[in-house]
Amino acid sequence: MVLAATNKAAAALGLVPGRALADARARVPDLVVLDHAPTADAVLLDWLVMACEVYSPAVAPAPPYGLVIDIAGCTHFFGHDETRLRDDLAARLARFGLTAQLALADTPEAALALARHGEADDDVRLLPVEALAIGGEDHLALRRAGLRTIGDLADRPRTALAARFGEGMTDRLARLLGEIDGRITPHRSLPAVHEEARFAEPLNHVDSAFGVIGELAELACTTLRERALGARRLTASLFRSDGHVARIMIETATPSRDPVLLMRLFREKLGSLNDPLDPGFGYDMIRLAVDHAEPLASTQLDLNGGSATDQPLATLVGRLANRFGRDRITRFASGDSYIPEQAAFELSAIDPPLPQRWSEPEPGEPPLRPLHLFDPPQRVDVIAAVPDGPPLRFRWRRRLHHVLRYEGPERIAPEWWQRQHGHEPGRHGLSRDYYRIEDAHGRRFWLFRHGLYGSEKVDPDWYMHGIFA
């Protein structure tokens, strides 16, 4: 076993990651050792990435132990002074109980290299060649050649370096030196529109936090109006001063930029949260992001000055989907299959409806498909006169039904082309023989025999698949 990571005190004793645990124990007998938990580290890093979104919406994790924040244009709250932002971050991380190396640089690569290998306010050129992070052997080769710092490399002709170490190395070098502008891939995609509010003193009440979200919603709606967009999905992020981030996400059924409607959806959502908002020590920032927006042309108001966005049904669907969950409010979608249970699906009603194709019933014919479908079908005990004939009696839910009238069988073959080896004889699956049945009291059922008697199955089972009107 080797050491994966050490704290400051251990590092001061000369224990560095990579050293064998036995050696370390020999040196420091009362060493406290904990098992390495990479998953827990990743979870903490994720949490930290979210907590750092308080500084900028663009934060990217740099596993295993780093993260990069793109603070371009995000320093106005700190008087356009990057070092003040850095000091604020250091104080915040210290409050979380974390020791961090912070560095400011022009490119993400340079910032990471400075944080890992340098001291604060260092020059990139003074960093050791290990900052290139191109592999131990190459680092050794560079050192053997007498090239110890990035500065040494920067002055060399790049073609020679590329010939020896590959283009990847010169590319990294150029990024470290800021010759190529690098971008980070943020943890979450940048919103179409976002508004934020910071507070000098943390906000302690959920109600006042909601008031702030309302103000932000108005600002965001103004921006949306200017761009002729309507919001479909919004997230309000409430950053608590102890690093916890509460997110409230709402969706609308149609593009909207009506702050009143959006706030009503936020209230609905808040009412249905499993764990209510806990302001704790207070929120020090609130951000409202429009994650997804769609074009929405401006509409003219009525002559008598009514609301332009008077779509009660879309509002209703949005409200229900936000209160109860988007998958609970559904509408139908047609499936492309002969297998009855795959012929229709239910999709969330908040999504735009898909075109639906249903077969037109023949005039004068009774319904051939049941109104209610059991999925999965329910097993029934059936007595039939002959094994491949229609049922005479069947028992379902502890009741005996006598078949008075029937129609069938309607044979539905399995989709053999969907199965592995389905084209081989005997492996195409079981056919179903469907019967429309009416019992002595007029109840109408849809039964099927699973498997053809004799050729597919010796003793086919019967199933109840649906109930007719």
Site string for other proteins, 398-437 (x = CB under 8 A): -x----xxxx----------------------------xx
Q: 185 CB contacts (<8 Å, ≥6 apart)?
A: 60
Token digits for 119? 């001291």
Task: State the nearest-atom distance from the C-beta of 324 to other proteins, in Å.
Answer: 6
Contact segment (CB under 8 A) with other proteins among 33-41, 63-71, 87-95, 364-372 equals 364-372
The residue (of 148 and 323) whose beta carbon lies closer to other proteins is: 323
469 binds other proteins (CB under 8 A): yes
Nearest CA among 158, 148, 100, 111 for reference residue 126: 148
Task: State the nearest-atom distance from the C-beta of 313 to other proteins, in Å.
Answer: 5
Q: 243 to each of 95, 151, 279, 284, how far by Cα in Å? A: 9, 38, 12, 10
Write the DSSP assignment of 294-312 as a string of letters: EE----PPPTT---S---H
Task: State the nearest-atom distance from the C-beta of 352 to other proteins, in Å.
Answer: 13
Query: From the list 259, 370, 391, 460, which residue makes contact with other proteins (rule: CB under 8 A)?
Result: 370
The residue (of 25 and 443) whose beta carbon lies closer to other proteins is: 443
CB atoms within 10 A of CB 437: 22
Task: State the nearest-atom distance from the C-beta of 220 to other proteins, in Å.
Answer: 26
Site string for other proteins, 262-301 (x = CB under 8 A): ----------------------------------------
441 binds other proteins (CB under 8 A): yes
Query: From the list 358, 400, 418, 427, which residue makes contact with other proteins (rule: CB under 8 A)?
Result: 358
CB atoms within 10 A of CB 378: 13
468 binds other proteins (CB under 8 A): yes
Task: State the nearest-atom distance from the C-beta of 232 to other proteins, in Å.
Answer: 19
Distance separating alpha carbons of residues 314 and 45, to the nearest angstrom: 39
Query: From the list 174, 197, 368, 452, which residue makes contact with other proteins (rule: CB under 8 A)?
Result: 368
Site string for other proteins, 307-336 (x = CB under 8 A): -----xx-xxx-xx--xx---xxxxx-x--
Q: Is the peptide bond before 64 cis (omega within 30 degrees of 0)?
A: yes
Of the chain, the end-to-end C-alpha distance in Å amounts to: 70
Greatest C-alpha distance within the chain: 99
Q: Give the sign of the dihedral formed by CA 191, CA 193, CA 197, CA 198.
A: positive
Token pair 């309607």 is found at 410
The residue (of 228 and 313) whose beta carbon lies closer to other proteins is: 313
Residue 369: strand, helix, or coil: coil
Residue 154: strand, helix, or coil: helix
Task: State the nearest-atom distance from the C-beta of 316 to other proteins, in Å.
Answer: 4
Nearest CA among 94, 91, 114, 88 for reference residue 102: 114
Please calculate the CA angle 152-153-156 and round it to the nearest 5 degrees.
100
364 binds other proteins (CB under 8 A): yes
302 binds other proteins (CB under 8 A): no
Residues binding other proteins: number (CB under 8 A): 56
Residue 96: strand, helix, or coil: helix
Task: State the nearest-atom distance from the C-beta of 330 to other proteins, in Å.
Answer: 5
CB atoms within 10 A of CB 370: 19
Task: State the nearest-atom distance from the C-beta of 391 to other proteins, in Å.
Answer: 13
Task: State the nearest-atom distance from the C-beta of 404 to other proteins, in Å.
Answer: 7
Query: From the list 125, 188, 264, 369, which residue makes contact with other proteins (rule: CB under 8 A)?
Result: 369
For the chain, give the number of residues.
Answer: 469
The residue (of 108 and 370) whose beta carbon lies closer to other proteins is: 370
Strands (E), 112-213: 193-203
Phi-psi region for residue 429, left (φ > 0), alpha (ψ -120 to 50) or beta?
left
Query: From the list 36, 156, 372, 402, which residue makes contact with other proteins (rule: CB under 8 A)?
Result: 372
Burial class from Cβ neighbours inside 10 Å (0-12, 13-18, 19+) for residue 62 reads: middle
Contact segment (CB under 8 A) with other proteins among 28-36, 51-59, 397-405, 419-427 equals 397-405
Task: State the nearest-atom distance from the C-beta of 248 to other proteins, in Å.
Answer: 20
Q: Give the binding site for other proteins (CB under 8 A).
A: 312-313, 315-317, 319-320, 323-324, 328-332, 334, 340, 343-344, 346, 349, 353, 356, 358-361, 363-364, 366-375, 397, 399, 404-407, 436-438, 440-444, 466-469
